[in-house]
Amino acid sequence: MLRALYSLLFRLALPFVLLQLWWSGRDNPGLRSHWRQRLGYLQSAPRQVIWIHAVSVGETIAAVPLVKALLRAYPDQQILMTAMTATGAARARALFGGRVQVAFSPYDTPGSVRRFLDRARPLALVILETELWPNMVGLTRARGIPVMLVNARLSARSARGYRRIGGLVRPMLASLDWIAAQAEEDARRFVDIGASAQTVTVTGSIKFDVEIDAGLRRQAASLRQALGDSRPVWIAASTHDGEDSQILAAHRAVLAHYPETLLILVPRHPERFEQVAVEVAAAGLKLARRARGDSAREAQVYLGDSMGELLLLYGAADLAFVAGSLIERGGHNPLEPAAWALPVITGPHVFNFEVIYDALQRGNGLFRVADSAGLADAVLALLADPVQRQLSGRNALAIVEAKRGVLENVLAGIVARLPF
């Protein structure tokens, strides 16, 4: 009954959703592209697929080791990756090229989902993290297709929100074949809001299996040489509106003590690249932009306005601030800088990754700050003490290495539930 009401409301809202898509596409045409796919009009697959759904860039990157493992295990099997955002879809295409089919996921109306299922013909649906849509899950499972939620996380805040619509959420969770939770806390919250305890397994996070190969290390070394071998370099990654001004204020404080320092500033969303460039100029700082191929030798801020290069940019820095945490966004994945053996700095708001941040803090690889002034103090302290900086970075890397191997268990769980 509640799902029928939800579907009706979504159908009524759909014209406004499409209008918003068109309006947002003024500055980012990628948002308008493939709008028919969002209504389920996917090009029919020549054979059945394993459907991997990763909502945006972060989940797409997290899915990379899993998709590669599935391709190794089933080299002749077609994999379809879907995303809700243009950046997530673009990242998947850049990572896999023609090896993986990439599409936008359908809006969660019954008609859109049915059309999508008719054309994609999935053998199984694997959803990353917590991207749960009632019709996507319910209609897929109604066709006898196994649905799995892997790398699953559920913050206390999200659990409270789901509990308010328990009549809609409980049947959806009960229909999942498997929930591979990142931590005990996540598993407990899923059960508390309606998942069957028999379907929930604590596997850990596949993000600990981040891959930094020799080729990427060479690229990072070359980039660092281009930025300046002898100057201090710090990175502020995945920034959101409301954070850049705080980060630039912190950087000005750092420059007062270490005038040669370079800040690599990487906005989370490409539609903000121009806005952030304007903010840097307004702050009176010398800017170089990666997308234009600018030299950073004389720059004070290097804008990471290229797509899909964050892992590379981390490798050119001495320490990392992971954004989405100075505002109530919930933080972003700190394991990529940790895998480069960088000390990690975060703001106070990390509820989306609380278990991972707690592990880094217990392992002495993390520095928490409250605001812009605290960020400046943390960066200055680490630049002033190379021994502590290197020790903190090694501690962060040790946490990553100690928890590797999750991917093998997650892959085994998926394979056990595939219908072949």
The CB density around residue 211, as the number of other CB atoms within 10 Å, is: 11
d(CA 1, CA 336): 43
Between the CA of residue 231 and those of 83, 102, 260, 261, 262, what are the distances in Å? 39, 41, 6, 6, 7
**Vertex 64, ends 59 and 67: CA angle to 5°?**
115
Spatial separation of the C-alpha atoms in residues 377 and 361, rounded to whole Å: 18
Non-local (6+) Cβ contacts of 101 within 8 A are: 45, 49, 78, 79, 80, 81
Distance (Å) of CA 56 to CA 176, 213, 268, 320, 348? 21, 23, 11, 22, 23
Task: List the one residue out of 62, 69, 147, 182 whose CA is nearest residue 408.
Answer: 69
Sign of CA dihedral 369, 374, 380, 385: negative
Cα distance between residue 341 and residue 343, in whole Å = 7
End-to-end CA distance of the chain: 34
**Cα four-point dihedral sign 5, 6, 9, 14:** negative
Closest CA to 182 of 58, 356, 56: 356
Are 145 and 49 spatial neighbours (Cβ–Cβ below 8 Å)?
Answer: no
Catalytic residues: 59
